[in-house]
Homo-oligomer: A and B are copies of this chain.
Amino acid sequence: MRLTSFSDYALRVLMYAHSRKDRLVTIEETANAYGISRAHLMKVVNILTRSEFLLGVRGRSGGFTLARPANEINLGAVIRATEPDFALVECFNPDNRCAIAHICGLPIILNEALGAFIGVLDRHTLADITVNPGDFALPGDGPAPQRGPELAPAPGPVPEAVVERAGSDI
């Protein structure tokens, strides 16, 4: 399960713009700061501007900046604007062909899980993931450390020994 790199880059662009909130930033300097392609970021900045998360200024000394204070840029709203879809399974797609979609209970559970996921993001804004200009490593510093994911182990069936012990107490 992944978010698209488009969403990943969108969040990074917003974080970079926030770290330089006293001035306009350019696509080029943002691309350089993260070591990613300028071409990738052009469409990202376009969508973020159209969704009113960024404010673009045209011209030779143009660029972009946050369109609103960071604590008004909701992370859930950003992901809704940048993910192409939330089609967790085939029957969430318009061209669904699953034979049991009319009766299956799985979409209800997946919608609940999706709601829980986006609900967490809805409780956070860009202000919660602030970075400072000095936090951007210089080119050539090598890869940054890996972070996650941290997935709890699956709840298993009760081990047999525990069941037996519990039974002997009754």
Show the binding face of A for B, using Cβ within 8 Å.
1-5, 7-8, 11-12, 15, 33-35, 68, 72, 74-77, 79-80, 83, 85-107, 109-122, 124, 128-131, 135-137, 141, 143-152, 154-157
Contacts and interface: CB of A to CB of B under 8 A. Distances in A.
A113 B120 contact: yes
Given A86-B151, A97-B143, A113 B105 contact: no
B131 A96 contact: no
A114 B114 CA distance: 9
Given A111-B149, A122-B154, A151-B80, A144 B35 contact: no
Nearest to A68: B157
Given A74-B154, A107-B147, A114-B150, 14 more contacts: A1-B86, A8-B89, A74-B156, A80-B151, A95-B143, A96-B146, A100-B131, A101-B144, A101-B146, A102-B137, A109-B121, A111-B150, A114-B117, A117-B117
